[in-house]
Amino acid sequence: MEDMTNTAPGTPGVHPMGLGFEGTLKDMRFIGWVSLIYGILTCLSIAGAIIGVPLIIASHRFIEGINRFDLFRQTGTQDELQAGFYELGRSFRILKILTIIYMVLILLWFAFMFLMGGLSLMAGLMDS
């Protein structure tokens, strides 16, 4: 196994952020585009637009952050790195709010189903 700790920043093909920086950017870009497409498909229904529109916005900000990281990889300026983390932070903030809303909607759905099941059970008891 190679010793990866002694790679100098000037070593060809090795970015100062680490060996997997470029591969991680490709994976992040893939996830950003998949999320964007999922948000667009979710918006095809009116009820889905509640989740889909913020997901599109968050995905767009996520992709913008990745583009900033790519610029940082090419130029090495710290401003691009800071801007990339800022864009990712904005994206994750929206995704956090969406996750909380989604969990609340799921809990309300289960409560509604439980209530309907209980009411139907009581109606069945009253008929007999």
Q: Is residue 112, in this structure, part of any structural domain at all?
A: no
Q: Is residue 65, in this structure, part of any structural domain at all?
A: yes
Q: Is residue 128, in this structure, part of any structural domain at all?
A: no
* Dist CA 43 CA 114 (whole Å): 28
- Greater confidence (127 vs 73) lies with 73
Residues 33-82: tens digit of each pLDDT: 999 999 999 999 988 888 899 999 999 999 999 999 889 888 888 898 89
Q: Is residue 70, in this structure, part of any structural domain at all?
A: yes
The two structure tokens encoding residue 127: 């008929």
Write down the pTM of the prediction: 0.70
When divided into structural domains, the chain yields a total of 1
Split at pLDDT 50, 70, 90, the class of 115 is confident
Range of the domain at 38: 21-102
Q: How many CB atoms lie within 10 A of CB 60?
A: 17
Residues 69-113: tens digit of each pLDDT: 889 888 888 898 899 999 999 999 999 999 998 899 899 999 988
Q: Is residue 48, in this structure, part of any structural domain at all?
A: yes
